[in-house]
């Protein structure tokens, strides 16, 4: 079920909110949180099962197994059995991802490499399996590290893993982030209102910008003979699409979380203003980057080891990052591309890449331009249907016909407003400051903000709903992961 679907917006969400607040108020206060948690758990399972009931069994298996692993580690804490339970949980969780996501890819490559004819299994990929499995791993690992207490309630663990706002495409939420709020969250009108505003912003990003730029990107990547301008237009469009698609989903997830009293951490921080690839990955998909840092890079030794070992650790992280995103060589090369670039930046003068350094303007501009070229080129690897198609597309970008052909002129003229908005809103200029609550802002600024902000949000919501009702193109890129 998509957040930007008619069923979710006009049926599922209103019903769940009504049951959560209106009916929840009728429940005795000491049972209210229990009622709301059970309601959210059941609603999340319904949300997940809406597209494919078969996926629900996978989700329930994951919840049950990780709930049991957590309790077993707590039972055997400070013994070798606890470590054994941790290893078994990793085998189970990673094995589940492998079977559903990578088994077909592996068998196909074995056939190609060894000239065998093994049957390639056709296995449906459960939505968001990489996201909820990584959450499960972090929960069990944190129980083992004694960073969180093992949860004895099945539905508490189930709610954490399946909570529908962040279930399908993140952000990847740590158990310690929401552990206290599962039992003790406070709900008020201000938090709910803030959540609604954040959800609308994400919805507009997704429906109005991501979906529109997706049409340009799809047209460009479907062409076999591209001019240089149209190749760049398609690549830039996909660069905007994937940002507004994913950050829009994250905004909606964070907004929904606040509507129900949860505080999820931010997942994006204007990544396209970065002036180094290292800085880009501090700003892009923050929850995934921090997950790999805390559960892979640091346990391997991080940078507190020999230089050769540090490079190896970095290689493993980026290899796994590429593999996590998909079962195709494109994604593996994409991850290793970032490994090479970041390794290069670590040996480059820090004034060009250190986010805390203050280089002269030309250095900052050069760093920003080079970073964007690297990122846009990497997105071509990410988007193309195959490695050969990616190489062909990159060839058109850097050595194609330098002419403004009819395809470029058509798609640019029809969508230039959305492209301009996409570029502007990918920068902090789009971050409207709220009035200062201590009264230092002028009355005029406060009044203008108080009028314009809800008007703009309302207009954006109505326009986005119009696009949705009309049945506009509406994919979610990260549902594949």
Cα separation of 280 and 269, whole Å?
Answer: 9
The residue with tokens 């994006």 is 268
SS3 284: coil
| Residue 451: predicted pLDDT | 77
| Residue 351: predicted pLDDT | 53
Cα separation of 118 and 371, whole Å?
Answer: 43
- Enclosing H/E stretch for 57: helix 53-75
Cα separation of 337 and 390, whole Å?
Answer: 13
Going by C-alpha positions, the residue among 329, 263, 273, 405 that lies closest to residue 106 is 329
Going by C-alpha positions, the residue among 59, 15, 20, 64 that lies closest to residue 39 is 20
Cα separation of 305 and 461, whole Å?
Answer: 51
| Residue 103: predicted pLDDT | 94
Q: Which residues of the chain have pLDDT under 70?
A: 348-363, 430-449, 472-481
- For the packed helices 29-49 and 154-162, what is the interaxial angle rounded to 10 degrees? 50
The conformation of residue 427, written as its DSSP 8-state character, comes to: S
Distances (CA, A) of 59 to 166, 361, 440, 480: 14, 51, 50, 16
- CA dihedral sign, ordered 182, 188, 189, 191: negative
* Boundaries of every domain in the chain: 6-185, 192-428
Alpha-helix runs per DSSP H in 260-306: 277-283, 286-292, 298-300
Query: What is the token pair recorded at 434?
Result: 């709220």
| Residue 379: predicted pLDDT | 97
| Residue 408: predicted pLDDT | 92
Beta strands in 194-290 (DSSP E): none
Cα separation of 98 and 193, whole Å?
Answer: 41
Query: What is the token pair recorded at 414?
Result: 């029809």
Residue 216: CB atoms within 10 Å: 27
Query: What is the token pair recorded at 324?
Result: 């996590």
| Residue 361: predicted pLDDT | 56
Long-range contact pairs involving 382-391 (C-beta distance under 8 Å, separation at least 24): 382/242, 382/325, 382/330, 382/331, 382/334, 383/217, 383/221, 383/238, 383/242, 384/221, 384/330, 385/221, 386/328, 386/329, 386/330, 387/329, 387/330, 387/333, 389/221, 390/330
Q: 78's torsion region: left (phi>0), alpha (psi -120 to 50) or beta?
A: left
The pLDDT tens digits for 102-130 are 999 999 999 998 989 889 888 888 888 99
Cα separation of 128 and 40, whole Å?
Answer: 18
In 3-state terms the chain splits into helix, strand, coil percentages (rounded to 5) of 75, 0, 25
- For the packed helices 129-144 and 53-75, what is the interaxial angle rounded to 10 degrees? 10
| Residue 425: predicted pLDDT | 92
**Catalytically annotated residues:** 325
- Bridge partners of 401? 227
């Amino acid at each position: 079920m998509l957040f930007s679907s008619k069923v979710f917006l006009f049926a599922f969400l209103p019903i769940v909110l009504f049951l959560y607040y209106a009916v929840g108020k009728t429940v005795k206060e000491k049972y209210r949180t229990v009622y709301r948690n059970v309601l959210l758990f059941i609603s999340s399972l319904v949300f997940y099962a809406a597209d494919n009931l078969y996926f629900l069994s996978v989700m329930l298996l994951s919840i049950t197994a990780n709930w049991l692993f957590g309790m077993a580690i707590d039972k055997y804490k400070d013994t070798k059995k606890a470590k054994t339970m941790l290893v078994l949980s990793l085998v189970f969780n990673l094995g589940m991802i492998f079977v559903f996501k990578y088994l077909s890819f592996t068998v196909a490559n074995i056939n190609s490499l060894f000239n065998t004819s093994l049957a390639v299994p056709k296995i449906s990929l459960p939505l968001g399996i990489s996201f909820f499995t990584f959450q499960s791993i972090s929960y069990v690992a944190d129980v083992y590290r004694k960073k969180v207490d093992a949860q004895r309630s099945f539905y508490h663990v189930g709610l954490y893993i399946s909570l529908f706002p962040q279930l399908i495409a993140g952000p990847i939420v740590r158990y310690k982030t929401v552990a206290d709020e599962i039992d003790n969250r406070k709900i008020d009108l201000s938090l709910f209102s803030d959540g609604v505003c954040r959800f609308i912003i994400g919805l507009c990003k997704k429906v109005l910008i991501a979906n529109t730029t997706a049409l340009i990107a799809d047209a460009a990547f479907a062409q076999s003979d591209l001019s240089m301008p149209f190749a760049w237009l398609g690549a830039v469009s996909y660069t905007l699409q994937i940002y507004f698609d994913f950050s829009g989903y994250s905004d909606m997830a964070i907004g929904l979380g606040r509507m129900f009293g949860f505080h999820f951490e931010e997942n994006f921080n204007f990544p396209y203003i970065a002036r180094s690839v290292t800085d880009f990955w501090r700003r892009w998909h923050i929850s995934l980057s921090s997950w790999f840092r805390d559960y892979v890079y640091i346990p391997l030794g991080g940078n507190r080891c020999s230089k050769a070992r540090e490079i190896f650790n970095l290689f493993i992280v980026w290899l796994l990052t590429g593999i996590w995103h998909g079962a195709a060589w494109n994604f593996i090369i994409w991850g290793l591309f970032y490994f090479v670039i970041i390794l290069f930046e670590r040996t480059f003068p820090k004034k060009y890449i250190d986010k805390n350094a203050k280089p002269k303007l030309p250095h900052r501009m050069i760093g920003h331009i080079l970073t964007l070229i690297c990122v846009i080129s990497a997105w071509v690897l990410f988007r193309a249907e195959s490695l050969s198609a990616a190489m062909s597309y990159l060839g058109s970008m850097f050595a194609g016909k330098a002419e403004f052909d009819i395809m470029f002129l058509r798609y640019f003229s029809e969508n230039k407003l959305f492209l301009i908005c996409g570029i502007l809103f990918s920068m902090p200029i789009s971050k409207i400051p709220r009035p200062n609550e201590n009264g230092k802002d002028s009355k005029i600024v406060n009044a203008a903000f108080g009028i314009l902000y809800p008007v703009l949000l309302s207009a954006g919501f109505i326009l986005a709903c119009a696009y949705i009702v009309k049945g506009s193109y509406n994919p979610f890129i990260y549902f594949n992961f």
